[in-house]
Amino acid sequence: MEPMRAIQENFRFLVLEVTKQIESTVEVIASGATELIDSVYLKDDYIDNLRGFIDSKCLAVIQGASKGDQRTVELARAVDIATNNLERIADFAVNILRQYKYIKDTSILQQYEFRPCFDEVLGALARVPEALFSADVAEALQICRSEFNLDEMYEGRFRNVMTELRAGGEQVEDLVTTLFIARYLERMGDSLLNIGEAILSLALHERLKIHQYWALEETLDVGASEGKGLSLESIAETRSGCRIGKVRDQREGGEGNLVLFKEGNLDKLLEEKAGIEFWQGRFPDLVPKVLGWQEGDHHASILLEYLRGQTFQQILLEGSAAELSAALSALGATLRSIWDATRIDEPVQPGFLKQIRKRLGDVKKVHPDFGDDQEQIGALKVPAFADLLRRAEAIEAELPAPFSVFIHGDFNVDNIIFDAEAGRLHFIDLHRSRRFDYVQDVSVFMVSNFRLPVFDAKMRRRLHRVILAVYRSVQGFAREVGDTTFEARLTLGMVRSFTTSTRFVLDEEFAQSMYLRARYLLERLLAHEGGEWSTFVLPANVLRY
């Protein structure tokens, strides 16, 4: 018998046995048929054995599958998740019967009407086999909804038990035990939710939680019956917790179109939406179009135009010299165009040191020694980094930017997309966009190149050439517009970016090299204090690793 067929047959037996366990538990609770309790206990071992057999078969299928048989692997993983959750449901049934033995007056169980809770569980179990092996989205959603129904049922019974306990009745022990029984039923709902989400993930070819599916469904404006025509390919999960994926619409008439789906924290995505709108009025071709938006109390989802091309990071690490040259040329031209079009000659204070202080706690969680590193060698005192920051505050106050422009705000190499075919640059992840000092974007970009964890000598030379090319290009722009404090502000920006980036670098030696560069740059600025800032030049040696 082929492995998946054996898995499918044993899985159906498992569902059947778990269903019998629930039915026997209902019978005991409803009619006091205590003679069934021992049989439930005995069947628990058989269910454990079935679960172990299916687990081992799923593992064998996953390990033995060929590269082109990804669908079988996905099915085996979904079956494995469902199997383990079914076994938990059976365990909860055993736990309920163990609690039943402590009930002195069993009439209290009829008072709290547990049969609707058991019926909800049984109804969901009946859906599981067909939903799983046909990857049926509509049925998976019904299984997931059982968890929400059981939650509501539990909350109602919880409130009633609490009311009776506060009233000081004589059935305190029975009421507490009744609450335990209700709690085990609510936990069965949690396991059913896991099963439903596993089926959804199987249908969409990507791990997905129910709230993420509902966000996807609502944002795309599709019904559950249509969801089977969609496939989701995860791209990333951001440090803020947002889920990002490519959605391919393969429903009838969908033509396989790609869109970008983001789901996560409401405040973060509101910032993202506002950032896109910030750019749309002036540079509509630079940013993706918003195609859909849904928001709840704490989460939101946004559907964006899928921008074709490669990220600047991909081109840096994998592209040809010609592709990198074209991307650099487009970057320089795009930045010049933005800065010329949005420039307002009003001073703005970037506050790089304030940004460092805000993130220094996070840096020290990863690298506890950074910041508090005062030392003394004989008569020579080496001040702590935190002390250098405080001393540099007076310098920063003297260095406002002479004008403001639109900036990206998070100008890392993976937030820039270059479409080589169209010769066009695009920006993504725009939640920090605002009117600000252009040096912020420049310093972030330069350090995001530097901090790439690539240590091959040839690739490091390539990264250095890119960093130096951008520095020279922006240096030329600053001279043209008469920005005489550009070098000093860029140095402060580099201090900020080198320091705060270390919280994302676990390689202690590499992080230390970035941190020491930040110290060195601060010391160079402090050594120039009292001089003309127009004569200060960023020490270019810090750009090489």
- What CATH number is given to the structural domain containing 227? 3.30.200.20
> Does 137 lie in the same domain as 106?
yes
Residues 277 and 147 in one domain: no
Average pLDDT over residues 75-94: 95
Answer yes or no: do 466 and 519 share one domain.
yes
User: What mean pLDDT is predicted for residues 372-395?
Assistant: 80
Q: CATH code at 48?
A: 1.20.58.220
Domain boundary among 305, 323, 345: 305
Tokens representing residue 401 in the block = 């930017």
Q: What is the DSSP string of 453-474?
A: ----HHHHHHHHHHHHHHHHHH
Which CATH number belongs to the domain containing residue 432 in this structure? Answer: 3.90.1200.10
Same domain as 413, residue 358: yes
Same domain membership, residue 480 and residue 453: yes
One-letter amino acid of 256: G
Tokens of 21: 């366990």
Give the pLDDT score at 482: 96
Q: How far apart are CA 521 and CA 512, in angstroms?
A: 14
Asked if residue 361 is part of any domain, the answer here is yes
Residue 209 lies in a domain: no
Indicate whether 28 belongs to any domain: yes
Length of the chain in terms of residues written: 545
Report which of 289, 327, 332, 529 is spatially closest to residue 438, judged by C-alpha positions.
332
Backbone angles phi, psi at 484, to 5 degrees: -80, -15
Mean pLDDT for the stretch of residues 68-92:
92
The alpha carbon of 168 is separated from its chain's Cα centroid by a whole number of angstroms, namely 47
Do 300 and 327 fall into the same domain?
A: no
Instruction: Indicate the pLDDT class of residue 283, thresholds 50, 70 and 90.
Output: very high
Structural domains counted in the chain? 3
pLDDT at 538 over 60: yes
Q: Do residues 263 and 192 both lie within one domain?
A: no
Instruction: Kindly state whether residues 356 and 421 are assigned to the same domain.
Output: yes
pLDDT digits 0-9 by tens, 5-41: 889 999 999 999 999 999 999 999 988 888 899 989 9
- CA 351 to CA 399: how far, in whole Å? 10
Contact 114, 99 (CB under 8 A): no
Q: Which range marks the domain in which residue 19 is found?
A: 3-204
Give the residue, 253 or 268, on which the prediction is more confident: 268
Residue-wise pLDDT for 163-210, tens only, equals: 988 887 778 999 999 999 999 999 999 999 999 999 988 887 777 677
Classify residue 210: in a domain, yes or no. Answer: no
Do 83 and 226 reside in the same domain of the chain? no
Residue ending a domain, among 289, 305, 321, is 305
DSSP secondary structure of 296-362: -SSEEEEEEEPPPSEEHHHHHHHS-HHHHHHHHHHHHHHHHHHHHHH-B-S-B---HHHHHHHHHHH
Entry pTM:
0.71
d(CA 361, CA 197) in angstroms, rounded, equals 37
* Residues 499 and 533 placed together within one structural domain of the fold: yes
Please check whether residues 200 and 349 belong to one and the same domain. Answer: no
| Residue ending a domain, choose from 204, 238, 261 | 204
Residue 275 contacts residue 291 (beta carbons within 8 Å)? no
219 and 247 share one domain: yes
Q: Calculate mean pLDDT across residues 61-70.
A: 79
